[in-house]
Amino acid sequence: MGVVAPNGSGQQEFWESQVAGRSGIRKLTRFDATLHNVRIAGEALIPESLADPQMDLTRTDRCTQLAAAAAKMAIVDGGLDGFDLSDAGIVSGTGWGCVESLEGSHRNFVTDGPEAVQARFAPMAMNNNTPAWLAIRYGFGGPATVTTSACCSAADALIVAHQMISSGEADLVMAGGAEAPLTPHIVAGFDRLGVLSRDNDIPEQACRPFRATRTGMVLAEGAAYLILESASHAAARGRAPVAKFAGYGRSSDAHHMLRLHPDAAGAERAIRSALRSAGLRPDEVGYVNAHGTGTAGNDAHEALALRKVFADRATRPAIAGIKSLTGHTLGAAGAIEAVATIQAIAHGTIPLSAGAGPLDAALDIDVVLGEPRNVDLRAALSNSFGFGGHNCVLAFTRP
């Protein structure tokens, strides 16, 4: 696994930030946000040690730069450095893709006309730039594709990788996602929807999932990739699994582009489908990494779905929302939070949900507050829900 997130780059720093409740949300510096209502964000730091000498930053979008750093870590962590990847696949998810390049080129076009648009603009701005660049850089010669399903994009990428391996199309697939949405247009657009927190004076506390005082989500950038492999292929090269990708569930609300289904029916179907796919009973799930954006409607909608599936109060799983620490990385969130979920299983520790104010009692779910919770964790779910009614739930178990 490899991760580049606002609250930490690399598995160790990322995990330590989770258990310490250390937020990566700060004042927005990617552009001058003086005139914006929202002036906070989760900005990721690419360590100098991960700078790729073959990456020309003038010809590569920020989204691909974040992806390259996370992918490099995953490849090294998976023992694939120098490994023949000619049959290996790659699936990369993104909601907005290389939007920084698109906005920048459009500004040049409006200001100076068609001749100001550079030839490299087209390949830089396409959504498939990221998996294509990674395939070229590291020699992934198997299936290479991109998934785009709003905030489910990276979770969908992991599901597609799972299907590639299950069908025999590939024995090894690197899957995850990257997002770099911190541009003037994107920030303004989400703010106009009324879903962003404007708590500019308290950035570290601005995202408060499941709190009675929650005021909205915080946009963020980041990337994460995981190496998925068939058990036989991993054993043949002497690699022990960190976790088992046990199953998944997907559904559509089929309801509205923005408004959530009033009965949380789509989210409930996805959770139940993931349990069936993984062969799990509800009482066997010890932890759910919630989508938990910190908006009033989304948190209530997710809590309703969780109450319906995990109806027995005595065996309800613990809930945590790490977007309080990372911000919402949109299309990359499913992969970043898959890493967090797997780390929780590996460490036997459920991270806390940060944020000020009391828990919203009306939600009636077991949210981990104050400090991490040490448990014998055998199975966990990771939820991703997106605009348009996309629902993805991933199930992981101890190997």
Q: Is 151 a catalytic residue?
A: yes
* Phi, psi at 89, each rounded to 5°: -100, 170
Q: Please give the Cα distance from 159 to 317 (Å, whole number).
A: 23
The catalytic position among 151, 152, 207, 392 is: 151
Per 3-state DSSP, what percentage of the chain is helix, strand, and coil (rounded to 5)? 40, 20, 40
SS3 236: helix
SS3 114: helix
Beta strand pairing call for 373-374 and 172-179: unpaired
SS3 219: strand
Q: In the chain, which residue ranges form alpha helices assigned H by DSSP?
A: 11-20, 62-77, 99-112, 121-125, 129-138, 153-167, 184-193, 231-236, 265-278, 296-309, 323-326, 333-347
Q: Is 261 a catalytic residue?
A: no
* HSE (side-chain half, CA atoms, 13 Å) at 339: 35
Residues 57-91, buried b or exposed e (16+ Cβ, 10 A)? Answer: eeebbbbbbbbbbbbbbbbebbebeeeebeebbbb
Q: Please give the Cα distance from 224 to 154 (Å, whole number).
A: 9
Q: Please give the Cα distance from 335 to 190 (Å, whole number).
A: 22
Q: Is 106 a catalytic residue?
A: no
* Phi, psi at 272, each rounded to 5°: -65, -35
* Phi, psi at 150, each rounded to 5°: 55, -130
The catalytic position among 162, 261, 301, 328 is: 328
Q: Please give the Cα distance from 17 to 325 (Å, whole number).
A: 8
The catalytic position among 162, 261, 291, 390 is: 291
Q: Which residues are catalytic?
A: 151, 291, 328
